[in-house]
Structure 1
Amino acid sequence: MNYSMIRYILAWVFTFEGIFLMLPAIVGGIYGEKQGLVYLAIAAGCLLVGTLSRIRKIKSKVFYSKEGFAAVSLSWIIMSLVGALPFFITGEIPAYEDALFETISGFTTTGSSILSNVEALTHCSLFWRSFTHWIGGMGVLVFIMAVLPLSGGSIMHLMRAESPGPAVGKLVPKVRHTAMILYGIYIVFTLVEIIALLITGMSPFEAMTLTFGTVGTGGFGVLNDSIASYSLASQIVITTFMIICSINFNVYYLLLIRKTKEAFMNQELRYYLGIVFGSALLIAINIKGSFDNFFMAFHTALFQVASVSSTTGYATTDFNLWPEFSKTILVLLMFVGACAGSTGGGIKVSRLVVFLKAIKSEVMSITHPRSVQKVQADGRPLSNDAVRRVLCYLGAYVIIVLASILLISLDGKDMTTNLTAVMATFNNIGPGLNLVGPTSNFGDYSVFSKIVLMFDMLVGRLEIFPLLILFAPGLWTVPKRRLAKKKKNFE
């Protein structure tokens, strides 16, 4: 285990979190809020810790997948623990566990909240709350790889651990350049949406915070009714960018290098868009009686479908009041999630496609024993290891979901509330149904249940295995061979 490299990476995490915390401090200064000084003090503390932690030299820059997974998981935990301090110290969220829940929900782009009155927060806290979505959307370590001159093939382990999807590859030969391209696209989407929302009449503060929640597919708003009170034009812009940012960013890279045909031939893209617009049409037909015309029914349905499928979590209506058919579609979309390589969460469309093809291949193998069956994606055969990883992921997914539902059921809430609470947090969606619906929050859960749901948010964002590896037997112990060697040298 290369502890010095892990320490080095965590030092940079502290440093960049300190830099990020300066932004809400500036916002506090603009609006004359004394809470901004708290953000400034914590930012200074993070910069100091980061600087001191980098004084010791790195023994070796070589590390493997276990170090990469451990570094990524520890980074997200530390970011959350530190990021919750401003909410707690300012007293805007009095209980630290609630502040931590809100912060983890922000960084993991979940959007589930314990707050009943969002509008009571200061501007600097509202900014930080939404900005955590933007930081976590693409991943802070992807950002670090984009701006720091880290080198070596082992850096790919960080990219694989933090980037969502069953398989992560390099867009260009160098990992750093891949990270720069991803963040470049991410920043362009951010700027374009901010400008578009300003054109629709939003204030600069609202345009920025809502954009952070959209391109990061997070869902924290600055008003208690989420997006409901904004204009139709603003809602259309947000709907568009929720869909855009839930698509694999590799597709945009292919468009950037003018491989248009290859981009639109992407199998996952076609399945995902079919699921989104097909689901919106079915819901619109089901709820059209509640609207003056079919256009508004489809617009409302598409917004909620885009919000759930992209795992953003914004709302323009209380879909808790919709017919059971429409609510069932939304729950099913919670399982599916967005595309691999996007900022969205969920199982991912590509995994489900591989899973269904694996079932078909198994059936064909039984009916035609002598035939050779291969699972394919985009016309290329997948290795047995790739298929195995998908099946292992789905198996672990089911076990964690069932265990989480069982644990939070100790609070005595109804099954629909508990099921959708776990689905909303594990899949990084935000609101669920019943007591955790779009007009409610997660504040009524006990501290124990909140810890379970916080774990679900982290394990869902990191796609299970990077976080589970922290509990692997022997991960943090020194191998016996090394201990024997040290003992011999001592003697």
Structure 2
Amino acid sequence: MNFKLVFKLAGKTLLVAAACMVLPLLVTLLYREDPMPFLSAMGITALAGLLLSLLRADTRFNSREGFFSAGLIWLLVGFFGALPFQFSGYFPSFVDCLFESISGFTTTGASILTAVELLPKGILFWRSFIHWLGGMGILVLTIALLPSLGARTLHVMKAESPGPIISKLVPKSSQSSKILYGIYLVLTVLVILALRAAGMDWFDSVTHAFATAGTGGFSTRNLSVGAYQSPAVEIVLGIAMLLFSVNFALYFLILCGKWRQALKSDELRFFASVVGGSVLLIACNIQSMYGSFLTSLRHAFFQVSSIISTTGFSSVDFDLWPEFSRALLVILMFCGACAGSTGGGVKCSRVLLLFKCIGREIRQILHPRSVNVVRLDGRVVDEKILHTVMIFLGSYMLITFGATLLVALDNFSFGTTFTAVVACIGNIGPGLELVGPMGNFSIFSPLTKLVLSLCMIVGRLEVFPILVLFSKNAWQRV
């Protein structure tokens, strides 16, 4: 393990994180609030980053360093990102600050706050802004701004980028990062303008656009999007959440004029089918609660978009919906968004590959001598990728069950305990019952909050980079 290069990359990432605190600092000054929380946090983060980035290291960098770097850096960024919360004085303990920070960077949106609207504007802005930073990936941003590791940064992008099939858009990783962030920035600006046109003020438009782009879900209101009571806002956010749930590589194909190739994506079609079917089923199931089918359809569309994109906004208290609708939403929590998007969950591509593998196994049983392959987008999927997908799904479920046992020590109901873990490892935010859209995570013990925080990072980095940190072989020098 090339530890010096890993720590050097960590230092550069912390310098980028410190620079990102300038924006909320300006918001703090604009609203004439105390700037010391951000000045102190910037100073400490920049100092730590500078000391680590000055390390001299050779350029030997492979997949082991890439995965190790991703796991370690996300833990560090979560820690230093919690400093503004700690220095603000609005959080009960540093564990709560750490939980809120990791929830923000991993775009989970689970919160321990019971009165969001009492926070200063600067802190509210930071909560949403770290969603935006974490959505595309803090390491992808570092590579785009500081491409000093050259082509070797592909190992880092593989470790941080969501989905089972990762490839560069263009030959250089730094160029791929810039293209991704360019698309990300343009879509974010469009959402800001659309929310402003829908009636939100500029501050709420920006913060909610950041939370939507990162599929995070932190709102500036205690009642989330439901506080606005605006169908226009719900429709804008519902469409935007789905747009950010799509693989960004498809947007690159569209920009290159390859519309047909983008629209033929098997994962995109599967994702659209799941969204459409879920909306119709839930709308029919909750119609008796709202009288009008159009109103039921609107709420069903918003909540399905929010849950499958793993954003976590709420327009109504869906925990009061019939059991069928609640169960379907939990299934969507596992499914998640598309690979290569800012969304979380297992990812539609993996679910689709699982179904295709089941179909192949059935055909193999019926016709033992036949040769069956799994295809995605018309191409044969390598057996190694299928093996990795199955290992991921098994690891994901084992971690979910193990974390559920640990959280169960707090002695809450199974619905609260299980959906809290599912919501955190899937980077969704709200669960059901006490951690539903009208609840929060302040009820849990400090140990449970740390367990759930680790689940968030495990879900955001898709298991393996964090497992690498706990591997004895990863710490051995070669």
Taking the aligned partners of 2:51 and 2:451, their CA distance within structure 1 comes to 34
Taking the aligned partners of 1:78 and 1:378, their CA distance within structure 2 comes to 38
Post-superposition offset of 1:228: 0.6
Taking the aligned partners of 2:148 and 2:443, their CA distance within structure 1 comes to 44
Taking the aligned partners of 1:471 and 1:77, their CA distance within structure 2 comes to 13
* Equivalent residue for 2:128, pick from 130, 135, 138: 130
1:67-78 matches, within 5 Å, as: 67-78=65-76
Q: Which moved more, 1:43-52 or 1:73-82?
A: 43-52
* Letter of the 1:254 counterpart: L
Taking the aligned partners of 2:366 and 2:234, their CA distance within structure 1 comes to 50
1:475 has 2:474 as partner: yes
1:208-287 matches, within 5 Å, as: 208-230=206-228, 231-287=230-286
1:29-178 matches, within 5 Å, as: 29-34=29-34, 36-58=35-57, 60-178=58-176
Post-superposition offset of 1:151: 4.5
Taking structure 2 as the reference length, the TM-score comes to 0.98
Structure 2 match to 1:461: 460
1:90-489 matches, within 5 Å, as: 90-230=88-228, 231-479=230-478
Q: Which moved more, 1:182-191 or 1:365-374?
A: 365-374
Size of the alignment, in residue pairs? 477
Contact 1:106-1:132 within 8 A present in 2 as well = yes
Post-superposition offset of 1:3: 1.6
Aligned sequence identity (%): 45
* Letter of the 1:130 counterpart: S
Structure 1 match to 2:27: 27
- Aligned alpha-carbon RMSD (Å): 1.1
Taking the aligned partners of 1:15 and 1:447, their CA distance within structure 2 comes to 29
* Letter of the 2:210 counterpart: F
Structure 2 match to 1:483: none
Deviations along 1:306-326, one digit per CA (max 9) or x if unpaired, are 000000000000001001111
Structure 1 pair 362–17 and aligned structure 2 pair: CA distance change class (3 A): same
Contact 1:150-1:176 within 8 A present in 2 as well = no
2:199 counterpart SS class: coil
1:229 counterpart SS class: helix
Post-superposition offset of 1:287: 0.9
Taking the aligned partners of 1:458 and 1:172, their CA distance within structure 2 comes to 28
Contact 2:37-2:85 within 8 A present in 1 as well = no
Post-superposition offset of 1:278: 1.1
Taking the aligned partners of 2:332 and 2:369, their CA distance within structure 1 comes to 37
Taking the aligned partners of 1:55 and 1:313, their CA distance within structure 2 comes to 40
Post-superposition offset of 1:292: 4.1
Taking structure 1 as the reference length, the TM-score comes to 0.95
Taking the aligned partners of 1:383 and 1:210, their CA distance within structure 2 comes to 40
Contact 2:9-2:53 within 8 A present in 1 as well = no
Q: Which stretches in structure 2 are left out of the alignment for 5+ residues? A: none
1:13 has 2:13 as partner: yes
Contact 1:171-1:178 within 8 A present in 2 as well = yes
Taking the aligned partners of 1:389 and 1:472, their CA distance within structure 2 comes to 18
Contact 2:2-2:477 within 8 A present in 1 as well = no
Q: Which stretches in structure 1 are left out of the alignment for 5+ residues? A: 480-491
Deviations along 1:132-161, one digit per CA (max 9) or x if unpaired, are 100100001111111223344321100100
Post-superposition offset of 1:363: 2.0
Structure 2 match to 1:3: 3
Post-superposition offset of 1:428: 0.4
Taking the aligned partners of 1:221 and 1:342, their CA distance within structure 2 comes to 21
* Letter of the 1:98 counterpart: D
Contact 1:365-1:373 within 8 A present in 2 as well = yes
Q: Which of structures 1 and 2 has the bigger CA Rg?
A: 1
1:56 counterpart SS class: coil
Taking the aligned partners of 2:107 and 2:13, their CA distance within structure 1 comes to 18
Post-superposition offset of 1:229: 2.2
Contact 2:10-2:53 within 8 A present in 1 as well = no
Taking the aligned partners of 1:309 and 1:198, their CA distance within structure 2 comes to 25
Q: Which moved more, 1:360-369 or 1:328-337?
A: 360-369
Structure 1 pair 52–448 and aligned structure 2 pair: CA distance change class (3 A): closer
Deviations along 1:431-451, one digit per CA (max 9) or x if unpaired, are 000111100001111111111
